[in-house]
Each structure stands twice: as C-alpha cells, then as structure tokens.
Structure 1
Amino acid sequence: MSTLLHLDSSAIADGSVSREVSAAFRAAWQAQHPEGTVIYRDLAADQIPHLDAHGITATFLPAEARSAEQNAALALREELMAELEQADAIVIGTPMYNFTIPSTLKAWLDQVILMGRTAGEEPSAKGTPVTVIAARGGSYAPGAPREPYEFVTTYLEKVLGGGLGLEVDFIVPEFTMAAQVPALAEFVGQAAESKAQALEEAARRAKALAA
C-alpha cells in the first residue's frame, strides 16, 4: 500500500495558494491510490520544535547514557524520520517568507536530517520523489529583477536533493499577492494564470507518479 507524506507550512489557513495546490496534488494522488495512506502535517498549526542540544547530543549517546530530555527529543526525530522513510511520494507546500522558507519548514528539515541515516553517502529515503509547491507573492523567475533574492527553490533543491537524496520537482505559482498589493495590480491576470497552471501541473504530477 502506497504512502504519501504531505506537509504544509503556510501560516495562512484560508486563501493560501501553496495549500490549495498541495491539496490538489493530494486529491489527485488519492484518486490513484484509494487504499493508500496519507501522513499529513500542518507545520504552521502544529509546529515542530526547533532542533536543540538534546536532539543533537542524543544521537551520539547510547540509550543508557541519555537523559529523559534527550530521549524525548530523539523520539520526535525518530518519528519524523520514519514518516519520511516510509513515504513513497512527498508533497510540500511552502510560501516564500522574506526570500526563503518559513521557519516551521526549516524546523522539520533540521529534525529529519541526520548524517549516517537520512543524509550522507546512502540516504535512507534516497530516490523518493518530492514535489514542492513553492508559492511566492511576486516573481523571482529567471530574468526577473528579484531573481537574485530567490532562496526557496535554490535552498530546497540542495537540502532535499543533495542532502536527503530525494528526487525533487518544483511547481511555482507566482504573483500570489497581486490582488492585495497595489504595486502588483497589473499582474492579477498573470497570477490567476500561474495558479491555474500550478493546479493543473500538481494533478498531472501526482497521476504521473502513480503511473
């Protein structure tokens, strides 16, 4: 039975484009896998603790030498890494906040990245396809004035692909703030088109993975 790991990180619950597109991916995936399992984490509503000293040091100690705090921190890491490892496909919804990913998503990444297991020469989830819905308020596409400020796809490609060994694919809805920001008003039509294309691509991608 196939398993999908679905992560959302937008702080906005209603009206989030990254959430809407990741939901479209999930719906298409479930249509192809009616008996499949979906592991869902809303990283904004149910935030994962940032990796701390207990979580870091626990990985270097035998069980009998760990404190209660270290055991608790390691148990969380084990739970999150197991979810990553059992997934047959992953979809991540993320907006761009201040040119990069939300700290809630970074917290998840820090917890699941463990050298010698999920990262390193033979990452335990190597080859798992991950589709990242990377929504952004304006345009940071090649040739755009703010292209040099794009640290969402550039970072995630390195950490998910190079670090965790996943097969990374991006879907990028742009101008999501065009209807709210007067300076972007001229791009309202382009925003609608970009969102429609993202929704279509999400469904297509989910179906292709099932095939």
Structure 2
Amino acid sequence: MKTVLVINASPNPSDSYSRMLTERFVGLWKRHNPEDTFVFRELGNTDIPHVNQHWVKAAFTPEQARGAEDQQAIAFSDVLVKELQGADVIVLGSPMHNLSVPSTLKAYIDQVIRMGITTSLAPGTPGSPYIGLLKNKKAYLLLVQGGYGFGKGEMYEHMDFQQPYLKAILQMLGVTDVTTVKMNHTTMSKELRLDSYTDAQTQGGCRS
C-alpha cells in the first residue's frame, strides 16, 4: 500500500485544467490501486508563509538547541516536510505563471528545502552540488501552459522555467523518477484547448 501526496498549485478553484488533470489522475489511481492512501495539499488558495530571518535561524539551529520561537518559526515547514517524507508518490498540478511557477508553489518549495533533512550539500559533485535525502519516490508533474511552443525543440523552449525548475528541485530533494504530463493552449481557442486536454489525458499517469 502506498501514500500518494497530491499538490494543487492553481489559484483557480474551478475551471482549472491542472486541477482537472490531478482529479483525473486520482480517479485512475484509485481505480487501479484501491488500497492506497491519499494526502492532499492545497497551495493555490492558501497563504504559504515566506521564508524570513526567523525561519532561517530556526532551520539552521540544531533541533536540540531550538527554543519555542524557533520551533514556531518552522512548525509549518515541519508539517510539509513530514508529508513529503511519508509519500511514496508525489503528484503536482501546476499552471505556468509568467514563464515559471505560481508564487505559492515557490513559497512551498522554500519551506521544504531543508539542509540535512530533505537535501544536503556535496560541492564538486557532477551535475549538482546537492544530494537529495528523499529516496525511493515517484513524481508526476501535471503542468499547464496558457500558450504554446515551450516544448523541446520549439520556438519558446528557452523561456520555459516551469518544467526544468521543478525537475531540478525534485532532483535536489532526491526524486529522480519523474513523469511529466503537459497541456497547452488553455488561454486560446476552445478547439485548441480541448485538443490539448485530450492529448494530456493520454500521457503518463493520466492514461486510463
């Protein structure tokens, strides 16, 4: 039996294609894995605290030396980290905002990057100076883009800071088994939008 962590980053509570993709994913997963457990983390409509000086001090203070203020400063981070540590499968649904990810998702990422807990430093190692500490996890990125042309070899590939960033963050955390499902054209004509949604349903973990 596995635990599946489903993260939604869209600020749109309805008519969100990234939420449609996560809902479809959950439905299909439940059909094939009825004994598995789901944990849902809402980011798009939640005030995710930004990292501040109190957080930094607490995070870099040894646990046994943290006072009450330190513990309070990273209490929410501890909750998010525990969710990640307990998940066997991570499902992230996110739109592209200004070529990258929504600000709430970035704030979430800042909360879960914890030195010595979710990642560690190994300067001079090929590819990345980070060694992730979250092992044996599978991730699905369900990504939505309002326009088009951000795919490999396409005209705006160099402007895609959504998928490469998220994959780099997952690798930093130790999650290297990543499947990406992408949908485009969500701000364009209905025909293009529906064609892209249909295509997304045939990709990766969204297949029936």
Return the TM-score normalized by structure 1.
0.85
Alignment of 1:131-210 (within 5 A): 131-139=140-148, 140-161=150-171, 163-166=172-175, 167-179=177-189, 188-201=190-203, 202-204=205-207
Identity of aligned residues (%): 34
Deviations 1:130-174 (A, max 9, x none): 10111001111234332221100111111112x011122211101
Deviation of 1:35 (Å): 2.8
Alignment of 1:95-134 (within 5 A): 95-120=95-120, 123-134=132-143
1:65 Cα deviation after fit: 4.5
Q: Tell me, yes or no, if structure 1 residue 11 matches structure 2 residue 14.
A: no
Q: How far 1:80 sits from its partner (Å)? A: 0.8
Counterpart for residue 127 of structure 2: none
Distance 1:148 1:17 in 2: 24
- Separation in structure 1 between the aligned mates of residue 63 and residue 87 of structure 2, nearest angstrom: 27
Look up the equivalent residue of 1:119 and give its one-letter code. T
SS at match of 1:172: strand
Question: Is the contact between residue 55 and residue 77 of structure 1 (CA under 8 Å) also seen in structure 2?
Answer: no
Alignment partner of 1:7: what SS?
strand
Counterpart in the other structure of 1:35:
35
Are the counterparts in 2 of residues 85 and 124 from structure 1 also a CA contact under 8 Å? no
| Between structures 1 and 2, the one with greater helix share | 1
Shift of 1:76: 1.4
Deviation, structure 1 residue 74: 2.0
State whether residues 88 and 136 of structure 2, in contact with CA within 8 Å, keep that contact through their aligned partners in structure 1. no
Q: Distance in 2 between matches of 1:10 and 1:44?
A: 5
Q: Separation in 2 of the partners of 1:64 and 1:5?
A: 29
Question: Normalization by structure 2: what TM-score?
Answer: 0.86
SS, match of residue 91 in structure 2: strand
Q: Paired residue for 1:184?
A: none
Structure 1 residue aligned with 2:125: none
One-letter amino acid matched to 1:198: A
Between stretches 98-107 and 50-59, larger displacement belongs to 50-59
3-state SS of the aligned residue for 1:114? coil
**1:66 Cα deviation from its structure 2 partner:** 3.3
Offset from partner CA, 1:50-75 (integer Å, 9 cap, x none): 12222221122245643433211222
* Structure-to-structure mapping, 1:21-100, within 5 angstroms: 21-63=21-63, 65-100=65-100
Q: Which residue of 1 aligns with 2:126?
A: none
Give the count of matched residue pairs.
196
Contact 1:116–1:123 (8 Å) recurs in 2 = no
Whole-angstrom distance in 2 between the partners of 1:115 and 1:62? 11
CA distance in 1, matches of 2:92, 2:19: 9
1:20: Cα distance to partner? 0.4
How well do the aligned residues superpose, as a CA RMSD in angstroms? 1.9
The structure with the greater share of residues assigned to strand is 2
